Amino acid sequence: MARSKTGKAVAISAGLLALAAVGASAEAIAPQDRLSQARVKLDSARAALFPAGQSRRDIIARRLAARGDALAPAVPARLPMPAAPATPEPPRPTGGLAGLLDLIAIAEADARGYDTVHQRADRPPPAPPSRLTLGEVLDWVAATPGQPHAIGRYQFIPSTLADLMRREALGRETRFDAATQDRLALRLMRDAGLDEFLAGRLPPEAFMDELAYVWAGLPLASGLSAYHGYAGNRATISRAAYAAGFEAAFGLR
């Protein structure tokens, strides 16, 4: 209940008078009785100063606030939870690796790049591949049997894609975007001997042939695809163009 300033002053005065009365009658009352009466009057004074149902802290806070006292305790505001930091997108490979990825894309993809789907796929995915999750890509494969399913800038086939997901510990919820496609292609390049080539333990021509066993659009030294004639596969660039692009990517000229 709210109290006016005058009412508060009267209550305080009454409490002080009650305490004074305890001292005036102390000589005529036995010590035990004096103690009991003093406690009763003290409790009465406390009740006047601090009404029931209201904590001392709340009463003092309101009084200080009414005086404009800067020491009045404030109710702490609930601080907003900090937003989770955004996960940065992995940087795209640079230098020779970027050049080699571009060279493979020339042999494998069309103008759609990361959204390329095999040209003989009569039932395309429900959205551009780079907007799908890996799970949605696999669901599309399962829902459209009997057609080619090579997908993305590096034309991953279903069995290869599923194996790469397992080895890279990528879940179905992972977006099949440019960063993921580059990551999977780099894994295949390492399978073909990338690290050995970069360390000088694998000659360029041998590494080029190993890559051609991964990507059908790249030619072997014979000029033919390693999968020539199988399911319509063929080399899409010449060996000379392949060698020139490879040397340019890694500065071998």
Tell me, yes or no, whether 215 and 101 share the same domain.
Answer: yes
pTM of the model: 0.65
> How far apart, in whole angstroms, are the C-alpha atoms of residue 133 and residue 131?
7
Tell me, yes or no, whether 22 and 104 share the same domain.
Answer: no
Confirm whether 83 is domain-assigned.
Answer: no
Helix residue ranges per DSSP H, the chain? 5-24, 31-49, 56-66, 95-108, 134-143, 158-167, 178-191, 194-198, 204-212, 239-250
Confirm whether 131 is domain-assigned.
Answer: yes
Contact between 106 and 238 (Cβ < 8 Å): no
Taking all residues of the chain, what is their mean pLDDT, rounded to a whole number?
80
Q: Is 156 strand, coil or helix?
A: strand
Tell me, yes or no, whether 138 and 51 share the same domain.
Answer: no
Tell me, yes or no, whether 146 and 183 share the same domain.
Answer: yes
Domain range for 141: 95-250
> Quick one: pLDDT at residue 95?
84
* Rounded (10°) angle between helices 5-24 and 31-49: 170
Confirm whether 158 is domain-assigned.
Answer: yes
Question: What is the tens place of the pLDDT at every residue in 113-155?
Answer: 999 999 999 999 999 999 999 999 999 999 999 999 999 999 9
From 29, 48, 66, the end of a domain falls on 66
Average pLDDT over residues 187-211: 97
Tell me, yes or no, whether 117 and 46 share the same domain.
Answer: no
Question: What is the tens place of the pLDDT at every residue in 92-106?
Answer: 677 899 999 999 999
The answer for residues whose C-beta is within 8 angstroms of residue 236's C-beta and 6 or more apart is 106, 107, 108, 217
> How far apart, in whole angstroms, are the C-alpha atoms of residue 250 and residue 207?
12
